Structure 1
Amino acid sequence: MSDPAPYIISPEPNAPRLTRAVEGVDHEGRIQSISVVEERPLTIFLNAQEIVTAMTIGDYPEYLALGFLRNQGMLKDGEAVLRVEYDEELETVVVRTDGQTTYEDKLKKKTRTSGCAVGTVFGDMMEGLEGLELPATQVRTSDIYALAARINTTPSLYLEAGAIHGTVLCEGPRPLVYMEDVGRHNAVDKIAGWMLSEGVGPEGKMLYTTGRLTSEMVIKTALMGIPVLASRSGFTAWGVEIARQVGLTLLGRMRGQRFICLSGEERLIRDTDPASVPQEAKKHRRKSAEDT
Structure 2
Amino acid sequence: MQLSEEIDLTGYLIAPDPCAARLTRVVEGMDHAGRRATISVVEERPLTIFLNAQEIVTAMTIGDYPEYLALGFLRNQGMLAEGERVLGVDYDEELETVVVRTDGRTTYEEKLKKKTRTSGCAVGTVFGDMMEGLEGVTLPEVEVRTSQLYALAAKINRTPSLYLEAGAIHGTVLCQGALPLVYMEDVGRHNAVDKIAGWMLSEGVSAGDKLLYTTGRLTSEMVIKTAMMGIPVLASRSGFTAWGVEIAQAVGLTLIGRLRGRRFVCLSGEERLVRDADPESVGEEDSKHRRKSARE
Do the structures match in fold with TM over 0.5?
yes
Task: Determine if contact 1:16/1:59 at 8 Å carries over to the other structure.
Answer: no
**Residue 214 of structure 1, CA deviation:** 0.9
State the AA in 1 paired with 2:62.
I
TM-score (norm 1): 0.94
State the AA in 2 paired with 1:231.
S
**Residue 116 of structure 1, CA deviation:** 2.4
Name structure 2 gaps, 5 residues minimum: 1-5
TM-score (norm 2): 0.93
Counterpart of 2:142 in structure 1 is: 137
Q: Does 1:109 align with 2:118?
A: no
Counterpart of 2:191 in structure 1 is: 186
State the AA in 2 paired with 1:107.
L
* Whole-angstrom distance in 2 between the partners of 1:141 and 1:66: 32
- Identity among equivalent positions (%) equals 81
Counterpart of 1:87 in structure 2 is: 92
Which consecutive segments of 4 or more residues in structure 1 shift more than 6 A?
none
* Whole-angstrom distance in 1 between the partners of 2:224 and 2:54: 25
* Whole-angstrom distance in 2 between the partners of 1:103 and 1:76: 12
Q: Does 1:212 align with 2:181?
A: no
CA separation of 1:240/1:291 partners in 2, compared to 1, >3 Å: closer, same or farther?
farther
**Which secondary structure state, in structure 2, belongs to the residue aligned with residue 283 of structure 1?**
helix
**Residue 46 of structure 1, CA deviation:** 0.3
Counterpart of 1:261 in structure 2 is: 266
Question: What does 1:42-57 align with in structure 2 at a 5 Å threshold?
Answer: 42-57=47-62
**Residue 287 of structure 1, CA deviation:** 5.2
* Whole-angstrom distance in 2 between the partners of 1:260 and 1:274: 13
Question: What does 1:66-81 align with in structure 2 at a 5 Å threshold?
Answer: 66-81=71-86
> Which one of the candidate residues 186, 204, 219 is aligned to 1:199?
204
**Residue 285 of structure 1, CA deviation:** 4.1
Q: Does 1:26 align with 2:31?
A: yes
Q: Deviations over 1:155-189 (max 9, x none)?
A: 00011000000000000000110000000000000
**Which secondary structure state, in structure 1, belongs to the residue aligned with residue 184 of structure 2?**
strand
**Residue 283 of structure 1, CA deviation:** 1.8
* Whole-angstrom distance in 1 between the partners of 2:138 and 2:262: 30
Q: Deviations over 1:18-44 (max 9, x none)?
A: 001111111112111111000010000
**Residue 284 of structure 1, CA deviation:** 3.5
- Tell me the matched-pair count: 289
| Farther off after superposition, 2-11 or 139-148 | 2-11
Task: Determine if contact 1:152/1:286 at 8 Å carries over to the other structure.
Answer: no
RMSD, aligned CA: 1.9
Task: Determine if contact 1:209/1:231 at 8 Å carries over to the other structure.
Answer: yes
